[in-house]
Amino acid sequence: MMGASVPDWEDFAQMIRTDDFAEAVTVTRADGQVLSLAAIYDSPYQEARLGEASLDTGDHSIVAAGADLPGVKRGDTALIRGAVFDVMGPPQDDGTGLVRLPLAERVGQGA
């Protein structure tokens, strides 16, 4: 298609936009620094079964530009959709500049 704008996939700001799949996320580091960024939130549903017992859980994480998460590590928190999540480890770099940040939802927040 002539004249069509092709996204520059080297520019993460074009990939992770809140008017597409991303949403606003606030990460608060243990040292008090607050980071506001756009990230893609992922929470795939999982059901673990052992005999007749089962446990429903989600593997929460965000995907963001690594440059947006300087110094983030386990013990920091993230605010997503009004819910607080604990950061479970450092950002996991995928080699392209994007990172996956593992999270765990805090218990007792209500829905």
pLDDT along the chain (111 residues), means of 10: 52 69 94 96 72 71 94 97 95 92 82 49
Q: DSSP letters of the chain? A: -TTPPPP-TT-HHHHS-TTTT-EEEEEE-TTS-EEEEEEEEE--EEEEEETTEEEEEE--EEEEEGGGSTT--TT-EEEETTEEEEE-SS-EE-SSSEEEEEEEEPTT---
pTM as predicted: 0.76
Instruction: Report pLDDT for 1.
Output: 46
Q: Are 20 and 46 in contact (CB under 8 A)?
A: no
